[in-house]
Amino acid sequence: MTALDLSRPEVVAADLPAPASFFLGWDHIELWVGNARQAAQFLAAAFGFRVTDYAGPETGVTDRASYVLEQGSIRFVVTGAMGPHGDIARHVKSHGDGVHDLAVTVTDAAACYDAALARGAIGLRSPHVVSDGSGTIVAATVATYGDTQHTFVERAGYGGRFWPGYSDDDLPPEPVGPPVGLHRLDHCVGNVELGALDNWVDFYRSTLGFESLVHFDDDQISTEYSALMSTVVWDGSKVVLPINEPAHGKKRSQIQEYLDFYGSAGVQHLALRTDDIVAAVSALRARGVRFLRVPDAYYDDIRLRLASLELPWDDLQRLGILVDRDQDGYLLQIFSETITDRPTVFFEIIQREGAKGFGAGNFKALFEAIERQQDRRGNL
Ligand SMILES: [Fe+2]
């Protein structure tokens, strides 16, 4: 019997830097959809994104079609399957159109991945190199909640636009419409199953090296009917991930409605930042985007509560924009209706004037607006 070779030092998590220490910021958000051509057209026409790249059969990719959409530093990729087999078709069948990948740019994809796995993350794709004439990208992927994943993208060695294999030949024309002016991804919210919140907060803290930013209990986020709990984790810089779980109320929590229709945990909303929300929402409404309706009573109350703020109150009320204040300043926000047939994914538009919060003062008004929609769907 030969002795075990113990000469290779065991790598322990404590020896490795936290995965988050490699993060540079958001790289892209990939949605897997039933029809990428139409999803791209919708995001361009309704939300003012520009199609900047494409991969599909015409570029030598046979099993899928992907469109890259950009606005400010926000980059979405929408991808659809060419047939009934494979992960994309399965994802769409289970979840409907949904967010599959929350990809971050990192300084060293292999080191980030190794550190994540050493701390207990599940690896979905080990570090691999993709190249074309513009250089090289190194990418690696770990799992997070539901069928959602994080790809670590190291692109310092790449001078092309998005990714090897993409082309900007023959892109769809830019739809006509007023400019929207969204400039960055502010935060990305996940919904997880009842009882799972603490585990996922622990995953982001212990495994990826995030910090908790703020926690909201169900007594802070509840209406007459439904409740939820939420913890916001972040990488200490730009990657901000609130996570919600349903809580028991008189009726079905909106988070539970999401989970029932998405079929698992997943991304609920993406918050997109603008510097001029009145102009942005005016443009989005002109382009046909539908937002949750806010009752006039909300403005009767908030105009009194925040009377010291010099704001274009009539515009805010006309457009349905919500206002909240914290110790650092104020924020303006609005929520779209779901962008999918299933009551799952939606967008938030947000303007921050100092405030670092998430609109806690608006939670009740927001949830009551969502519940009115939920009731119309027969799901409350
Ligand atoms: Fe949000």
pLDDT per position as a tens digit, 296-308: 888 988 898 899 9
How many angstroms does the Cα of residue 363 sit away from the middle of ligand 1?
10
How many angstroms does the Cα of residue 357 sit away from the middle of ligand 1?
9
How many angstroms does the Cα of residue 158 sit away from the middle of ligand 1?
32
Half-sphere exposure of 165 (CA within 13 A, CB side): 15
How many angstroms does the Cα of residue 250 sit away from the middle of ligand 1?
24
Determine the Cα–Cα distance for residues 162 and 160; give it in Å rounded to an integer: 6
Query: CATH 3.40.30.10: does it fit domain 183-377?
Result: no
7: helix, strand or coil: coil
Burial label, 286 (beta-carbon count in 10 A; 0-12, 13-18, 19+): exposed
What is residue 9's predicted lDDT score, i.e. its pLDDT? 46
How many angstroms does the Cα of residue 182 sit away from the middle of ligand 1?
15
How many angstroms does the Cα of residue 137 sit away from the middle of ligand 1?
31
How many angstroms does the Cα of residue 323 sit away from the middle of ligand 1?
13
Full-model pTM: 0.93
The two tokens of residue 109 are 């994809």
How many angstroms does the Cα of residue 35 sit away from the middle of ligand 1?
26
CATH class for domain 13-154?
Answer: alpha beta
Q: Where in the chain is the domain with CATH 3.10.180.10?
A: 13-154, 183-377
pLDDT digits (tens, 9 = 90+) for 275-330: 999 999 999 999 999 999 888 888 988 898 899 999 999 999 999 999 999 899 99
Determine the Cα–Cα distance for residues 77 and 56; give it in Å rounded to an integer: 13
Q: Provide the residue type at 297 as one letter.
A: A
> What rounded mean pLDDT belongs to the chain?
92
What is residue 248's predicted lDDT score, i.e. its pLDDT? 81
pLDDT digits (tens, 9 = 90+) for 356-368: 988 887 877 777 7
How many angstroms does the Cα of residue 125 sit away from the middle of ligand 1?
29
pLDDT above 60 for 7: no
How many angstroms does the Cα of residue 154 sit away from the middle of ligand 1?
28
**DSSP per position, 123-138:** EEEEEEEEEETTEEEE
